[in-house]
Structure 1
Amino acid sequence: MARSHFFTGLAGLLLFTSLPLVTSTPTIAATVYTGDRLDGAAVIDKLDVSDLPAGQVTKLWFRVTDNAIGQGWYVPVVVVKGAKPGPKMLITAGIHGDELNGISVVQHLAQTLDPKTLSGTLVAVPGLNTPGLMHSTRGFTSDEIGTNGENLNRIMPGNADNGGPASRFAGRLWSNIFIGNADFAIDLHTQSRGGAYPGYVFAQTAEARQIADWLRPDVIGMDAGIEGTVENMLNPAGIPAVTYELGAPEKFDTPMIERALRGIRNVMIGKGMLAGKADLSDPAPFVGNVVTDLASPRGGWAEIKVKLGDDVKAGQAVAVIRNPFGEEIATVTAKTAGHVLSINIDPRTEPGDMVVRLIAWSDSGVCSQAGCPDTSHK
């Protein structure tokens, strides 16, 4: 994929001539430094972990694109490069600006890993969507009032040169941070505003399912995916990846964060990056491959009658809808049996809004226990 560059003319020449001369054949890819520093950390235009020092933690700012006033959108990157060789693990969070638990997970993981005992490299990005995080919105809200943002997790791998603002931002993340710096990946999310998930992992392939089993979430969804997501575009690119949903948005949930950290360390043990034995003390996950949304037929105040993780029967009432006077005007019932995967935590409900989401297993579902036939489209 073509890449955009911030430096041309004399500025680019000065940057080039300031680098050490190498007499041997130059490598095709290398970390590109802009020469700037932000909060004491170097700013980069491209990451290549192969040329970073082993046995150390390197903190960087990636200057993704320009914003509307000619300044930069910056994304933090932490590279923990082990003293011993091993795989490269990419962990990302905050591609939706209202989904915050993953940011704390990434921060704690990077702070607690010892590079001297690590085999391989952690590439951690605690906050992909800078404008979305600033505006506390799901989308890439790059305008001045924080509205009308595109979903960065539907337009990967983007177009770094010829797309709109969100597509260029996505394209630069994809080509200059993700590709070449990951042998496998975990993209951390939560449910979006107004809803809540348990610990829930989407898995597409056999390799992704292995990662999901090590993560030990509450639920594993064998899912063919949605084109344009980080996970669904990395898998066809030969980089096994999962999406891990961590509860509810707009807060740091300590138990959920700690559970995710246990699971990620299990993955690192399984991949040979850390010594030790996997911690499988959390309950075995429910595995499903069919998801059903139960929607409200009326607008009003939703009273949810089930909890995350409940098993419901066909015909069971899962929510009632009340009018402003508190009178019951509708009942939402389960069409089929299933496991409660998501619930609304905001009682304000529009007609047609999902109030409860169920997951179940079907032997005739698109995906088997081992994976899905199509890993880039749904």
Structure 2
Amino acid sequence: MTQPTFESVLSGEGLSELRAAVQRNCDIADAQHAGNYSLCTYLLKMREFYRWERRLPFSAALNHQEVGDWVSRREQGWEQLEGLSPGALPLGAARHDPFDQDAVNRRLDPHGLVYGAGYGRGARPLFFLGALLRREDFDGYRVYVVGEETARDLAAPPAMSRGDLIFVRRESVRRLLFETVEAWQMRGAPADDPLARALRAYGYDAAEPETLERMTDSEVESAVWHEVGEVLAGQRLGPGWQQRVLEVAGSRGEVVARAVRDHLADCLTTLPALLDDGTDGAIHFYFANLTGMRALLFPQLRAAYDRWVDGAPLAVLKAQVGPAREHWLAVARRLLDEAPNTWPVEDDQLEALQPDLRVRT
């Protein structure tokens, strides 16, 4: 896929100032939230952030002293920004609220650029500015697929949705794939787990960068389907859901709530799309990422996947989707109706949230 670079589309008075303002807001968000990561996660993210800022390929060896000096300078910069709120974005004579992405994107459309703003886990502000790869309008929602980014924060999630807008960030999808494979190799690269199956199905070869690009293109589509599911889930749950998540931000209740909504979104669109398409690589990669709270809440889905791997027809997985969709919608509505301090959030309580499904052979 040929991607437009940011520099190739950066034209028009005020866009350089916009880029600086967006990056400053990203830095303000990082100043407030970068310390929430564990030390190991923080160092890995900073290493990746350094690579992004320097535009270094994944294959490039990093100089530890240079990275360490860069981290120190970045942290000193954050200290100067602590306590500040994200500032207005300049576009010509106008100043836009940093969360008014609709107004900003109307101005950026002629330049082939896209701006995103929202909130992530723990009510963390998220911002980015990048080159638009494509825009698709569907029934009631719009999808932006973003290429090269010129401003971003430390978090940089691969996809995000807000209202009826969906953003899928190709750079972050590609980075996630590389880091997932890298971590898997450091664990010993098991020969027969979901990720090993996904890499074989995709024909991935670390010595051939184009195989990572092909895998990225496929997983961008999976990310699009998940975010479409997020929009549809939001329509079913209403605006009260986001308020409820903000009430439990930073707690295990937030982790549970987000996992429930993820399952609802996946049962609405992601799993039907993956299973109808029948692409083995994408299906295996989905289950390679079915971890953490999502795995704890839906062990029946993994059991169905294992049956399929052992030779059962794909129908064994498809049979889970419809009943699970209704189940997760009911669970999400239950969480909306109940006080968060009554939610089952401990490991020994989570079975109460699992669907009562049987894996058919």
TM over 0.5: no
- TM-score scaled by length of structure 1: 0.29
- TM-score scaled by length of structure 2: 0.30
Structure number with higher helix proportion: 2
